Amino acid sequence: MQLTVWTYEGPPHIGAMRIATAMKGLHYVLHAPQGDTYADLLFTMIERRDARPPVTYTTFQAQDLGRDTAEIFKNAVAKAYERFQPQAMIVGASCTAELIQDDPGGLAKALALPIPVIPLELPAYQKKENWGASETFYRLVRALANQPVERAPRENRRPICNILGPTALGFRHRDDIVEIRKLLGALGIDVNVVAPMGATPADLGTLSAADFNVVMYPEIAKAAAQYLEKTHKQPFVDIVPIGVKATERFVEAVAKLAGVDPAPVLAGAPSRLPWYSRSVDSTYLTGKRVFIFGDATHALSAARIAATELGFKVVGLGTYSREFAREIRAEAAEHGIEALISDDYLDVEAAIQAAQPELVLGTQMERHIAKRLGVPCAVISAPIHVQDFPARHSPQMGFEGANVLFDTWVHPLMMGLEEHLLGMFREDPEFHDGVAPSHLGGKPRESADAVEQATAAPPLAPSPAPPIPASITIDGPAPWAADAEKELRKIPFFVRGKARANTERFARERELAIITVETLYDAKAHFGR
């Protein structure tokens, strides 16, 4: 088993917890040892929820393993029902409790509770969080929406749909729902149920009353939508409306299923992204090299927006969602690159270094990687930090979501250029820290560095450096001369890494013992051809 510091997804019972926490009237009894209750922190601290997840843990201890852990589980289920009085329950085991094979489903069934109890079999050592969320939602839909609900005739009524996919701890799911509702309302379509977020078990029983389904996040809801299509003859739309072009395709597809005219909505598309991307100086956008990594939904959308709506060049594309590897590989082929399918952040870091991008679009992990490499980064996908659950409305989907994307992706590039300009002028005789403000007049103030230098003891004479041979075979990168390092710092930080790598490669191929200013400019001329 590989040990890791960071992980893109938790075990599948965390996915089940995301479904339970998103819903109302549903309770999750998790057979888990003491110590596996850390998951509560994900929702209360990171998502800033005002209530703990509706989860009861058995919290058995080491000494309990020699006794009857099955009895501990049955007692936990009975007490949870008595205390919380849920409409339905789901039961399962954490990755640790899975090893003792107590069969939570069978034990709960033996209690004969007067509510639906849905067992979850989530293989913790083969599957991960998003799969666990998908499987949990599918099991709930299959158990609670198995009886058809008679639909009213289509004549003289507005079309009705369900919105499927948003969960707790999802990346901007709360805000995306608002934008999807706004689009559907503008088309004259009513929403029957939004699930799992905000839905009750009773609501899931009415899913078949809708004419069709909208799948917001295929990782979570596509399996449930396929079941509803097969069982209740409900078609579904799984076009993810992230970006202007995808939103337009989404509107057209939904309008076709609903039998309505999409023209009024498309004609009044309010997104400013197309105009902004045409008006912004091409220095910020055109041909910028971008590396993209995240869950499949957001990585696929980001690649298409980057290439077709902002003029970036996609030099890296990957996902940790192995269930969607085929779709990611097909999209990567469209950009002439090979997809990265991995859940090892060290593989992702190595790929980013090799691609030498000027912008990274990724998860919280890629944000840390990009910071170390000195590359601008925007977060587009879970896993995410508390700062990615803003108090303001900040969607990714719909026309307003496209505006948010433009701001989020382009501003790091602009701020990078501003920071570079500040760095360039830091040593200018008119602008350095020791110069008094021009509007105040008077003598320049002495900087702290100048005062320190004036009062410091005289420096010791440097030892003579050993002679450097004119040419030598070098395995690693050649050392940099001090003036070359200083010249390198004048290059914008967001392309400095690429300049350094190219120069060191240039020096290595020519077996140069040291990199000078001349080497730096020779390499620039060589790779600029």
Q: Are 165 and 226 in contact (CB under 8 A)?
A: no
Query: Residues near 111 by Cβ (< 8 Å), separated by ≥ 6?
Result: 74, 77, 78, 117
Three-state SS at 156? coil
Q: How far apart are CA 501 and CA 477, in angstroms?
A: 9
Q: How far apart are CA 128 and CA 147, in angstroms?
A: 30
Q: Are 269 and 253 in contact (CB under 8 A)?
A: no
Q: Are 39 and 14 in contact (CB under 8 A)?
A: yes
Q: How far apart are CA 89 and CA 55, in angstroms?
A: 10
281 is catalytic: yes
**Half-sphere exposure for 280 (CA within 13 Å, toward CB):** 21
Q: Where are the beta strands (DSSP E) in 165-210?
A: 190-195
Q: How far apart are CA 433 and CA 446, in angstroms?
A: 9
Three-state SS at 374? coil
Q: CA triplet 187, 380, 220: central angle to 5 degrees? A: 65
Ligand-binding annotation for 65, yes or no, is no
Q: How far apart are CA 145 and CA 231, in angstroms?
A: 9
Of the residues 50, 281, 428, 475, only one is catalytic, namely: 281
Structural Rg of the chain based on CA atoms:
29
Q: Are 43 and 76 in contact (CB under 8 A)?
A: no
* Residue closest to 19 by CA, chosen among 100, 88, 84: 88
Ligand-binding annotation for 343, yes or no, is no
Ligand-binding annotation for 257, yes or no, is no
Q: How far apart are CA 233 and CA 230, in angstroms?
A: 6
Could you list the active site residues?
A: 281
Q: Which residues are annotated as a binding site for substrate?
A: 416-417
Q: Per the annotation, where are the binding residues for [4Fe-4S] cluster?
A: 36
